[in-house]
């Protein structure tokens, strides 16, 4: 009985792998536990061992070649076994299977084919199925925000096909293939799981009937047949076409439907927005980043369609005493935030430790530091620096829980919580302990700015070992955060408050700040967390010690 071996997922972020070396060749005997090949992932080159025994009958990915996770890597079976049926029916990405009986079931399958429509086992020459990409390590589904190409358009390698909203950001998705866009499987505004059929690209005029209807992800159909969807496809093409407006000088202005929608909601006239897209096309980001000019709007008369295009949506008037509700569709980011935080709170036993820190010396030190030209350091930067040094002294805080072990991270990557329009993102300062205060300040400002403009890369939000969340700028004096998994702790930073304090037996005016440390009790005991806070307090109250 032949077994299909697929390209394994050897890391949490791996989407494809490269076969560095085959340690077995076709015809070799394989025992369970034998190393089949060395596979290069996005993080390391790792040995891949066999969980099956038999004879290596087929190698699907030669040395040096790269293929997506779950692609057919090899076939193991009995010596001399006929695997022609498996190879003839080999899809672009194989379906993982523990065992794949060949002889008797292949015969039965042929009988069934006469009574049922044939599944697509191979693609016409030059045709490529494009699937919903995994654009972040936590992404399980994506929403097509905007299609930048429509059915019938010519696509070159590197062209932007669509803007896809993930759980962390809205990102441009470029094509790795060239040809004609023959089919769109996920319409604008629709959400689908990773690996769902997104589009089909191939030579113009290619017959792709049957491909979409038979394409499956995890065994579930993801799209209806091309034939029955022909009318919908035509409608979708029209909907995906750029929206035209007319400027005061009669020139056409191109804008995507999503840009039009956002402009309408914000009351922005598209005639005032400069487009950054192809042929000056206005994109979603152009509208979101648009700053209205103080000058008066053009007085020239525009056509009726242009007025309708740029008119702001009227505010809803709700008479007193009437019940009124508004439904806002959850974004991908909001869905993932809800899922991750619920998982963290309900799986990790949280407890919180609170300490009050005197900020008088920190305020004096910050004033001196910021007196240096071109230097700008915030109190949050000082807290981050103090955390980085304290974590080196208390590595158990810099840990994560696994069922079989506690992982102690001896590198310090601090995540900084940043509030954005759709929720919260956590960009990461890698090797924070090696950064100076000014480097921390510059990096935090850069990451926070790009986070708010949705310009962060997924890799810039991965790999944190500890997290800092600051609501002091909103006047919040004390709060408790939910741990950002897989971290074991998160520090909540409150506002600096001027109040009476006792110093040397005298009541004087002082400045204090509350710090709250949320800990995972599976990895951090109360005494360990308390010792970390004591060290952190010492560094913040005496900033000069951070330079030692």
Among all residues, which ones are annotated catalytic? 521, 525
What is the chain's length?
A: 548
DSSP alpha helix (H) spans, 40-94: 84-88
Q: Which of 398, 381, 351 lies closest to 519 in space, CA to CA?
A: 351
Whose CA is closest to 5, among 98, 90, 82?
Answer: 98
Beta pairing partners, 199: 130, 184
Residue 136: strand, helix, or coil? coil
40 token code pair: 């290069």
Taking alpha carbons only, the member of 459, 518, 486 closest to residue 166 is 459
Contact assessment for residue 322 and residue 295, using Cβ atoms and an 8 Å cutoff: no
- C-alpha 497: how far from chain center: 37
The alpha carbon of residue 190 and the mean position of all alpha carbons in its chain are separated, in whole angstroms, by 17
Classify residue 70 as left (phi > 0), alpha (psi -120 to 50) or beta.
left
Question: Which residue, 297, 325, 323, 322, is CA-closest to 311?
Answer: 297
Q: How far apart are CA 394 and CA 398, in angstroms?
A: 7
CA dist 534 → 337, 378, 390, 432, 488 (Å):
31, 22, 9, 20, 18
Question: In the beta sheet, which residues pair with residue 185?
Answer: none
Distances (CA, A) of 520 to 318, 355, 391, 497: 46, 18, 15, 29
Q: Give the CB-side neighbour count of residue 20, counting CA atoms within 13 A.
A: 11
3-class DSSP state of 207: coil
The 3-state secondary structure of 147-190, one letter per residue: ECCCCCCEECCCCEEEEEECCCCEEEEECCCCEEEEEECCCCCC
8: nearest Cα among 32, 37, 33, 30: 37
């Amino acid at each position: 009985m032949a077994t299909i071996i697929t390209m394994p997922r050897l890391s949490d972020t791996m989407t494809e792998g490269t076969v560095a070396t085959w340690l077995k060749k076709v015809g070799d005997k394989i025992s369970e536990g034998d190393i089949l090949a060395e596979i290069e992932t996005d993080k390391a080159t790792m040995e891949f061992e066999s969980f099956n025994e038999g004879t290596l009958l087929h190698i699907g990915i030669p040395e040096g070649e790269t293929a997506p996770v779950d692609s057919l890597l090899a076939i193991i079976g009995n010596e001399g076994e006929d695997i022609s049926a498996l190879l003839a029916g080999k899809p672009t990405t194989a379906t993982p299977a523990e065992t794949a009986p060949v002889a008797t079931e292949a015969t039965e399958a042929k009988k069934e084919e006469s009574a049922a429509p044939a599944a697509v086992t191979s693609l016409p020459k030059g045709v490529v199925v494009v699937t919903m990409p995994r654009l972040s390590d936590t992404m399980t589904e994506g929403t097509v925000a905007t299609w930048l190409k429509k059915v019938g358009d010519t696509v070159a390698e590197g062209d932007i096909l669509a803007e896809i909203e993930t759980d962390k950001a809205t990102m441009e998705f470029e094509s790795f293939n060239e040809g004609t866009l023959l089919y769109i499987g996920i319409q604008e505004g629709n959400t689908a799981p990773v690996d769902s059929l997104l589009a089909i690209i191939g030579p113009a005029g290619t017959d792709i009937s049957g491909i979409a209807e038979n394409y499956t992800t995890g065994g579930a159909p993801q799209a209806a047949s091309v034939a029955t969807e022909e009318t919908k496809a035509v409608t979708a093409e029209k909907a995906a076409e750029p929206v035209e407006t007319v400027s005061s000088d009669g020139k056409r202005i191109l804008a995507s439907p999503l840009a039009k929608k956002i402009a309408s909601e914000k009351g922005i006239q598209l005639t005032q927005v400069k487009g950054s897209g192809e042929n000056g096309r206005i994109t979603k980001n152009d509208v979101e980043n648009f700053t209205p000019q103080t000058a008066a709007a053009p007085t020239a008369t525009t056509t009726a369609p242009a007025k309708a295009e740029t008119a702001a949506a009227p505010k809803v008037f709700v008479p007193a005493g009437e019940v009124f509700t508004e439904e806002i569709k959850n974004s991908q980011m909001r869905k993932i935030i809800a899922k991750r935080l619920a998982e963290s709170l309900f799986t990790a036993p949280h407890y919180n430790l609170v300490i009050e820190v005197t900020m008088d010396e920190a305020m004096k030190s910050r004033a001196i530091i910021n007196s240096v030209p071109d230097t700008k350091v915030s109190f949050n930067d000082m807290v981050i620096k103090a955390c980085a040094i304290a974590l080196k002294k208390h590595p158990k805080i810099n840990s994560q829980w696994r069922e079989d072990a506690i992982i102690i991270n001896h590198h310090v990557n601090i995540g900084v919580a940043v509030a954005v329009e759709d929720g919260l993102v956590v960009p990461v300062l890698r090797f924070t302990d090696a950064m100076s205060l000014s480097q921390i300040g510059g990096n935090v400002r850069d990451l926070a700015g790009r986070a708010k403009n949705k310009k962060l890369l997924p890799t810039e939000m991965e790999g944190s070992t500890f997290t800092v969340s600051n609501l002091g700028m909103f006047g919040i004096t004390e709060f408790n955060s939910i741990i950002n998994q897989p971290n074991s702790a998160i520090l909540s930073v409150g506002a600096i408050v001027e109040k009476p304090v006792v110093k040397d037996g005298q009541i004087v005016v002082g400045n204090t700040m509350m710090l709250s440390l949320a800990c995972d009790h599976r990895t951090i005991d109360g005494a360990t967390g308390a010792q970390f806070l004591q060290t952190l307090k010492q560094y913040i109250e005496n900033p000069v010690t951070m330079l030692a």
